[in-house]
């Protein structure tokens, strides 16, 4: 239809000039005039077709674009929907830094939105008046400081980071032009001074600066899922409360404690006192920020007799029926090794352990030899830094070279300084049946924890448990005897080094315990730094008087929480041992007389 119209319009109005020249003579050799005309029309027709083609192509393009858009709208609508909110059942809120929670999901560290106040000084009309007004609602800042900031030539200046909601509201009410709020996120620690040595803290820009916050900085930044720690906040509270009580009673300068699961190696509580508020780490003394439990290295005293005895029994150097004459102090070069409370007779191995005889233990270590001692302590993880998820890990102080005198002193806990964490891990490895545990601060699935390499045999582990139970039932650790929970442990009291010699009146008193000893579940380690004797303790400030009662309280309070049923005191467990001791002691005494 359109084509016809074009043809008609091209053919009908003939150009006047050509028409005038045409009719009179036939100069073209009788060829019809229409042919020439037809040529012109054809040319016009061609032009028309080209134009038509161009138009058709552009229309086709336009229509296909529209068509594509229709498909786009019809089939791919999801693409442009604002899918902002996420289902949070699988993770947490996107805050830029994941939460840290305890093993029961209680929040230990979280990121909350806050407002930070900044100003554009060029927009502030009257800096002095504004500063005076601001100073009334921001108590931390002085009017002079604020005035100087507001009068500066810059276009951006922070006035105060992380305002409280009340301050935020108050500043808004002042209505000063040129002041603005920046929405920020800030780390909060709802449990404050309870867990700072484990959880750590962050800087003003939310980068981790200590503890788990530092060692898991990348993970926390990348994830929205809360990071579950092995800590149980209830047990942590009990531990730090009992530590604080002991420190207070004995006017000590500090203390540390660890509660560890003996099968999984999970640290359910770890405290170091004095503590600090992680919200204000700068205000805390260096002493308070120091993690005594993982970073401190201390000579542990008699607690090391557990390791010496376990080694001697496991290597077959001695049996429970053997013993040593403890009448003579041991003299080596210019040192003399004596007993704290000498019995002045032959003592069997259980007696040496129970009465904590230095002389007997040194004999045991010397019979085992230096290489055996070194290998054994190394396998217990006491010669290398603890393998734990904290940046604050102390290097144990190991003698170099390791002479005979070192073997002797280390056997009863002098000359090798280790962290409380290492002691707890080593004791856990001995009482749990004899396999090494790897201490961890992260929650573990008990079913997925593989048993570590064997350190001592099942039987030796059983013997050590009985010996530790003996110490609590009859020996130096009687104050730790929590009714019904079969506590077994060992006391340790070490004089502190003051310069190059040992101080007479400054000591570290500790107690390490496992419970319940028929099937241990937890190891508790408590150490008190520089306890002073009181009237009630008759002038003693030893592990048995200072740390053992704390362990007793801790066990009594923790056991019901973790579902350990109290049982018969199970003295049957040590009865056998006692009979054997008495028999062999009598025999030997008769023999020596």
Partner 1 sequence: MRRFVIFCWILAGSVTALTLFQIKQEVLELEHGIKQVHSDILRDQEAIHVLEAEWSYLNHPARIAALAEHHLQLAPIPAERIIGFADLPFPGEPQEEEGKDEPATGPATLVTAPAATLGATNR
**Cβ proximity of 474 and 320 under 8 Å:** no
Rounded distance between C-alpha atoms, residue 399 and residue 554, angstroms: 34
Residue 399: CB minimum distance to partner 1, A: 42
| All residues at 6 or more sequence positions from 317 whose CB lies less than 8 Å from its CB, including other chains | 311, 364, 367, 368, 372
Find the catalytic residue in 294, 302, 429, 584: 302
The reply to whether 527 sits near partner 1 by the rule CB under 8 A is no
* Choice between 113 and 177, CB closer to partner 1: 113
**Cβ proximity of 246 and 553 under 8 Å:** no
The reply to whether 67 sits near partner 1 by the rule CB under 8 A is no
Is residue 199 classed exposed, middle or buried when 0-12, 13-18 and 19+ CB atoms within 10 A define those classes?
buried
Segment lying near partner 1 (by CB under 8 A), choices 38-46, 74-82, 141-149, 297-305: 74-82
The reply to whether 567 sits near partner 1 by the rule CB under 8 A is yes
**Is 275 annotated in the active site?**
no
From residue 4, alpha-carbon distances to 18, 45, 55, 66, 414 in Å are 24, 10, 18, 30, 116
Residue 233, token pair as written in the block:
């906040």
**Cβ proximity of 269 and 564 under 8 Å:** no
* Choice between 137 and 487, CB closer to partner 1: 487
**Binding-site residue total for partner 1 (CB under 8 A)?**
43
Element (H, E) at 306: helix 304-314
Segment lying near partner 1 (by CB under 8 A), choices 191-199, 371-379, 425-433, 491-499: 191-199
* Choice between 233 and 313, CB closer to partner 1: 233
Of positions 2, 76, 285, 565, contacts partner 1 by CB under 8 A:
565
The alpha carbon of 531 is separated from its chain's Cα centroid by a whole number of angstroms, namely 29
Element (H, E) at 160: strand 157-163
* Choice between 196 and 433, CB closer to partner 1: 196
Of positions 177, 190, 371, 587, contacts partner 1 by CB under 8 A:
190
Of positions 569, 578, 580, 585, contacts partner 1 by CB under 8 A:
569
Rounded distance between C-alpha atoms, residue 469 and residue 521, angstroms: 14
* Choice between 145 and 569, CB closer to partner 1: 569
The reply to whether 302 sits near partner 1 by the rule CB under 8 A is no
DSSP class per residue in 387-450: --S-S--PPPB--SS--HHHHHHHHTT-S-EE-HHHHHHHHHHHHTSSB----BSB---GGGPP
Segment lying near partner 1 (by CB under 8 A), choices 210-218, 312-320, 483-491, 579-587: 483-491
Positions 200 through 239 that interact with partner 1 (CB under 8 A): 233-234, 236-238
Closest to 511 in 3D by CA, of 457, 463, 565, 475: 475
Encoded one letter per residue, x for contact with partner 1 by CB under 8 A and - for no contact, window 92-111 reads xx-x----------xxx-x-
Segment lying near partner 1 (by CB under 8 A), choices 155-163, 422-430, 476-484, 530-538: 476-484
Of positions 394, 434, 484, 489, contacts partner 1 by CB under 8 A:
484
Residue 530: CB minimum distance to partner 1, A: 26
Residue 227: CB minimum distance to partner 1, A: 15
Residue 223: CB minimum distance to partner 1, A: 15
Rounded distance between C-alpha atoms, residue 468 and residue 262, angstroms: 15
Q: What is the three-class DSSP state of 246?
A: helix
Segment lying near partner 1 (by CB under 8 A), choices 25-33, 186-194, 277-285, 309-317: 186-194
Q: Where are the beta strands (DSSP E) in 21-106?
A: 100-101
| All residues at 6 or more sequence positions from 508 whose CB lies less than 8 Å from its CB, including other chains | 298, 299, 300, 301, 492, 493, 494, 496, 527, 528, 529, 530
Encoded one letter per residue, x for contact with partner 1 by CB under 8 A and - for no contact, window 132-171 reads ----------------------------------------
* Choice between 466 and 507, CB closer to partner 1: 466
Residue 321: phi, psi to the nearest 5?
-80, -20
Of positions 191, 305, 363, 443, contacts partner 1 by CB under 8 A:
191
The reply to whether 373 sits near partner 1 by the rule CB under 8 A is no
The reply to whether 391 sits near partner 1 by the rule CB under 8 A is no
Of positions 27, 35, 85, 447, contacts partner 1 by CB under 8 A:
85
The reply to whether 557 sits near partner 1 by the rule CB under 8 A is yes
Q: What is the DSSP letter of 85?
A: -
**Cβ proximity of 149 and 119 under 8 Å:** yes
Is residue 4 classed exposed, middle or buried when 0-12, 13-18 and 19+ CB atoms within 10 A define those classes?
exposed
* Choice between 82 and 446, CB closer to partner 1: 82
Residue 551: CB minimum distance to partner 1, A: 15
**Cβ proximity of 431 and 487 under 8 Å:** no
- Site of interaction with partner 1 (CB under 8 A): 1, 77, 81-85, 88, 92-93, 95, 106-108, 110, 112-113, 188, 190-192, 194, 233-234, 236-238, 241, 481-485, 556-557, 559-560, 565-569, 571
Catalytic residues: 302
């Amino acid at each position: 239809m359109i084509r016809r119209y074009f043809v008609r319009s091209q053919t009908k109005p003939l150009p006047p000039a050509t028409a005038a020249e045409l009719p009179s003579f036939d100069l073209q050799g009788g060829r019809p005039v229409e042919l020439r005309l037809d040529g012109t029309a054809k040319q016009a027709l061609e032009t028309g077709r080209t134009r038509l083609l161009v138009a058709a192509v552009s229309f086709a393009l336009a229509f296909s674009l529209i068509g594509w858009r229709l498909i786009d709208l019809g089939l791919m609508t999801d693409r442009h929907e604002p899918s902002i909110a996420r289902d949070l059942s699988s993770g947490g809120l996107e805050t830029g830094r994941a939460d840290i929670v305890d093993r029961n999901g209680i929040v230990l560290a979280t990121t909350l939105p806050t407002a930070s106040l900044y100003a554009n000084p060029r927009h502030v009309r009257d800096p002095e008046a504004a500063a005076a007004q601001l100073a009334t609602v921001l108590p931390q800042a002085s009017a002079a400081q604020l005035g100087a900031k507001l009068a500066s030539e810059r276009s951006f200046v922070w006035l105060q980071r992380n305002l409280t909601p009340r301050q935020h509201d108050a500043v808004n009410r002042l209505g000063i032009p040129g002041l603005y709020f920046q929405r920020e996120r800030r780390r909060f620690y709802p449990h404050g001074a309870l867990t700072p040595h484990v959880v750590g803290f962050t800087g003003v820009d939310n980068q981790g600066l200590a503890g788990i916050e530092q060692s898991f900085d990348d993970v926390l930044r990348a994830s929205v899922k809360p990071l579950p720690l092995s800590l149980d906040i209830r047990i942590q509270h009990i531990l730090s409360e009992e530590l604080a009580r002991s420190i207070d009673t004995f006017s000590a300068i500090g203390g540390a404690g660890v509660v560890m699961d003996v099968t999984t190696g999970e640290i359910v509580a770890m405290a170091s006192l004095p503590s600090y508020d992680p919200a204000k780490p700068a205000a805390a003394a260096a002493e308070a920020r120091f993690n005594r439990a993982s970073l401190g290295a201390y000579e542990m005293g008699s607690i090391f007799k557990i390791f010496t005895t376990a080694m001697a029994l496991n290597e077959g150097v001695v049996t429970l029926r053997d013993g040593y004459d403890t009448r003579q102090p041991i003299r080596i070069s210019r040192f003399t090794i004596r007993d704290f409370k000498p019995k002045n007779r032959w003592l069997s191995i259980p007696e040496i352990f129970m009465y904590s005889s230095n002389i007997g233990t040194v004999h045991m270590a010397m019979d085992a030899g230096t290489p055996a001692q070194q290998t054994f302590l190394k396998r217990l993880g006491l010669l290398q830094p603890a393998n734990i998820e904290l940046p604050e890990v102390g290097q144990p102080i190991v003698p170099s070279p390791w002479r005979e005198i070192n073997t002797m002193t280390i056997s009863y806990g002098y000359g090798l300084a280790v962290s409380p964490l290492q002691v707890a891990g080593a004791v856990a490895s001995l009482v749990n049946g004899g396999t090494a545990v790897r201490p961890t601060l992260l929650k573990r699935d008990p079913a997925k924890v593989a048993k570590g390499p064997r350190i001592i045999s099942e039987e030796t582990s059983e013997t050590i448990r009985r010996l530790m139970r003996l110490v609590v039932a009859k020996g130096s650790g009687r104050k730790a005897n929590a009714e019904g929970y079969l506590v077994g442990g060992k006391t340790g009291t070490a004089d502190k080094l003051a310069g190059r010699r040992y101080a007479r009146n400054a000591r570290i008193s500790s107690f390490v315990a496992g419970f319940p000893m028929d099937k241990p579940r937890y190891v508790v380690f408590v150490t008190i730094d520089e306890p002073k004797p009181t009237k009630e303790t008759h002038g003693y400030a030893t592990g048995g008087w200072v740390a053992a009662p704390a362990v007793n309280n801790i066990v009594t309070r923790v056991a019901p929480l973790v579902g350990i049923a109290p049982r018969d005191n199970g003295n049957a467990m040590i009865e056998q041992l006692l009979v054997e001791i008495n028999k062999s002691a009598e025999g030997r005494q008769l023999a020596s007389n």
